[in-house]
C-alpha cells in the first residue's frame, strides 16, 4: 500500500529531526531548512524537475549535487536520500514537518493577528509577547492581517485557539442578547 504525502512528510520529517538531535546539528539544519524552503518555494520548476519520474536518476543526482554544495554534509545526505527513494516531490512537506518538530521543542508558535488597521511592529511584538507569556511559549511569531470589517479590536488566531476581541463580535453579542429578550 502506498503512503500518502502526509505520511511520507511525517516519517521523513521526524527522521530528519531525530537525526539532527542525535548528531547535535539541530540549529544548523533548522537554518538550512529555512533556506531550502525559501529556494524550493520560489523555484517550483527545480522541484518539479527533481520529482519528474521520466528524467534519469543520474541526471537528477548531478543537478542536485551542483546546487547543494553550500549545505552541511548531513543535509546533502538527506537530500540525496530523498532523491534516491523518489520522495523529492514531498520535500517541502517534509521540511515543514521538521520545522513543526523544532517549533514544538523550542516552544515557538505561529499565528495571525487580525485587526481593522495595520499594527506597528511594536504593537505586534507586545501582543506576541503577552500571548507567549500567558501560554508558556518562548516565542510567538505573528503576522498581521488587516480586515476593516471588524471595526476595531483584535482577533488572535494561534493554532486552533482563537481569541476574538473585535468590536464587530461584541456588537453581534449585544444584538443577540437584545433580540433574545
Instruction: Give the residue from 58, 84, 104 where a domain finishes.
Output: 104
pLDDT 10s digits, 92-135 = 999 999 999 999 999 999 999 999 999 999 999 999 999 999 99
Percentage, residues of the chain above pLDDT 90: 89
Residues of the domain holding 79: 5-104
The residues that bridge with 110 in the sheet, in sequence order, are 141
Separation of alpha carbons 43 and 180, rounded Å:
55
Q: Give the residue from 81, 86, 94, 105 showing the smallest Cα distance to 37.
A: 94
User: Among 81, 70, 60, which residue's Cα sits nearest to residue 35?
Assistant: 70
What three-state secondary structure class fits 133? helix
What lies within 8 Å, CB to CB, of 172 at 6+ separation is: none
Whether residue 89 is found in the same domain as residue 23:
yes
Of residues 82, 66, 62, 84, the one with CA closest to residue 12 = 82
Q: State whether 134 and 63 are in the same domain.
A: no
Domain boundary residue, one of 51, 75, 104: 104
Residues 15 and 79 in one domain: yes
Write the pLDDT tens digit of every residue in 72-98: 999 999 999 999 999 999 999 999 999
Residue 24 — left, alpha, or beta (φ > 0 → left; ψ -120 to 50 → alpha)? left
The structure's pTM equals 0.83
Same domain, 88 and 128: no
150 shares a domain with 95:
no
Count of structural domains within the chain: 2
Q: Verify that 84 and 33 share a domain, yes or no.
A: yes
Q: Is 153 left (phi over 0), alpha (psi -120 to 50) or beta?
A: left
Amino acid at each position: 500500500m502506498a503512503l500518502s504525502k502526509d505520511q511520507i512528510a511525517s516519517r521523513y520529517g521526524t527522521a530528519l529531526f531525530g537525526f539532527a538531535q542525535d548528531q547535535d546539528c539541530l540549529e544548523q539544519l533548522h537554518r538550512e531548512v529555512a533556506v531550502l524552503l525559501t529556494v524550493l518555494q520560489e523555484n517550483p520548476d527545480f522541484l518539479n524537475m527533481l520529482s519528474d519520474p521520466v528524467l534519469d536518476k543520474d541526471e537528477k543526482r548531478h543537478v542536485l549535487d551542483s546546487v547543494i554544495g553550500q549545505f552541511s554534509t548531513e543535509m546533502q545526505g538527506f537530500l540525496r536520500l530523498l532523491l534516491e527513494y523518489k520522495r523529492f516531490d514531498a520535500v517541502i512537506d517534509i521540511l515543514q514537518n521538521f520545522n513543526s518538530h523544532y517549533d514544538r521543542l523550542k516552544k515557538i508558535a505561529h499565528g495571525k493577528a487580525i485587526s481593522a488597521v495595520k499594527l506597528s511592529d511594536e504593537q505586534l511584538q507586545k501582543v506576541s509577547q503577552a500571548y507567549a507569556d500567558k501560554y508558556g511559549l518562548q516565542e510567538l511569531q505573528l503576522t498581521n492581517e488587516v480586515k476593516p470589517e471588524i471595526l476595531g479590536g483584535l482577533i488572535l488566531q494561534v493554532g486552533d485557539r482563537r481569541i476574538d476581541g473585535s468590536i464587530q463580535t461584541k456588537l453581534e453579542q449585544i444584538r443577540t442578547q437584545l433580540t433574545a429578550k
